[in-house]
Chains A and B, each alone.
Chain A
Amino acid sequence: MTDATLSLHEKDRSQMPIEYSTEEGDLRIVGFWIFLAAELVLFGTLFGTYLVLQSHTAGGPTAKDLFEIGPVMAETIVLLVSSFTCGLSTIELRRHNKRGLIGWLLVTILLGLVFVGLEVNEFYTYAVHEGAPLSRSAFLSGFFVLLGTHGCHVSLGIVWIIGILLQLGKRGITPVTARKAFMAGLYWHFLDVVWIFIFTAVYLTGWVI
């Protein structure tokens, strides 16, 4: 699990970025990539389900009836910007700049919170004001569960990053905290990519079809 212990692939790591500077960090990051691959299958299944059920509106509201450009664009922009700030945090990490790292991570989770707020508001509008809750039709079940899963991921990411911020504050940038911050960044970008697919497969096709 760590350098000299569980494996002997001794590599010269002195030239590597800090998050890769220990065998253990390397191992965890590889595993995290594989975890993201599994997440990809998970979201892929949800997308497949949604696309199958998209037209099954059972006489209820359709995508065209519900989706409004304004809030959706706001969510999209907020999340994309948060991905950008998250990227900036990784740059600061590589520069070993603790304050910059913490600052950009804070901005990232604040934007994340705004995104979650907007999304909750969107859900609330549909479910309560437009009479389109998840139990109305198969289309809405697919919609709420796909987007809800993404939203839960973002929320969990926020909790996770808060935990990392506390550790960064206490310990500074060490190989371990660096690895955690780096992995949280991967996770955040991944969620951003998923959102782009949601934007395309759910909203764009919803408006067009």
Chain B
Amino acid sequence: MLPIAWLQLTREKTRLMTAIAGIAFADVLMFVQVGFQSALYASALGPHNSINGELVLVNSTYQTIFSMKGFSRRQLYRLRAIEGVEDVSPMYIGSADWKNPENGTSRVILAFGIDPVQPTLNLPEVRENLDRLTEIDRVLFDRASRPEYGAIETLFQQNPALEVEVNETRMRVVGFFTLGASFSAEGNFICSDLTFLRIFKNRDPEQIEVGVIHLESGVDIETAKQEIQKFITSDTKILTREEFANMERDYWANSTGIGFIFSLGVFVGFLVGLVIVYQILYSDVSDHLPEYATLKAMGYRDSYLLKVLIQEAIILAILGYLPGLGVSWWLYELTRTSTFLPIYMTVSRALNLLLITIIMCSISGAIAIRKLRDADPADVFN
């Protein structure tokens, strides 16, 4: 059989190129939207995913770590008695004012106060620098924070005794880690619990934001969680690390407009592609109407023409998708090297978008099919 769909598409190079460019554009639009979305989520969930334990205890009102209510740390320590719990450790989280040492402007930053002996955040660079945090008024700075906090790492290389002001208290930067900006926290730093309480002078040391629970090896997480559930009061809740992260994601996705904006972006990309492919297929059918009618008069069935149109749609989908994937890949690389956003091309995302592109082109084809009815062989003789 002659590959009619292919021959027809490739005969008109300009139209084909327009179609490919349009579909590629739509794909890039969608890739960028989903890429940024998941990168921003991954970045916002960095602290959650770095929790050094299987379960966390938080205030029952928890939605986002950016504004957390505390709870009594005695609640946490009581859990040590439960079978299967190896250890527990508290973490303070709060928003502080960070003064840019270069120009003196202040900006809100997210502060994590951890026990340097039992660190609650499992980040390689934090682990290496724990001993430096045992001294008072020492902080580790997130190099993936926005540049508005100052070029801290560069300043540090020039002056290892670099001092900064946090909540009007002088602190020494002693090291760096990479976590990344979240939707509202545009920077992070980590310090010891004692230092944390010196930065937040009016805080009650008894009130902690996160209690991290480390289970003995081999203990089933879900069983342990149910066991702990019986011990805690209603002003706290026990979550697995995953649930802790998912609640934060849901908060940003649903309670704020962020999830909607991204979905809208993907939808717009989809629509753009749909319209472009429809235009191409529709004009292809219109231009070849007498020829299609001739085929019918020769004895080709309607289903044959339908198949040709669907093949065209799928060929267009694949031809447009490939350059779209290439450009998006390159944009991801560019974004990753120029920002700290963890934006990666994954196999599942690439396959998902391929599927979406094929669906997009098939819908266009299905709409364009209506035009095929105009190819009436009774009219070709006139």
A and B associate in one complex: no
B: residues with CB less than 8 A from A are none
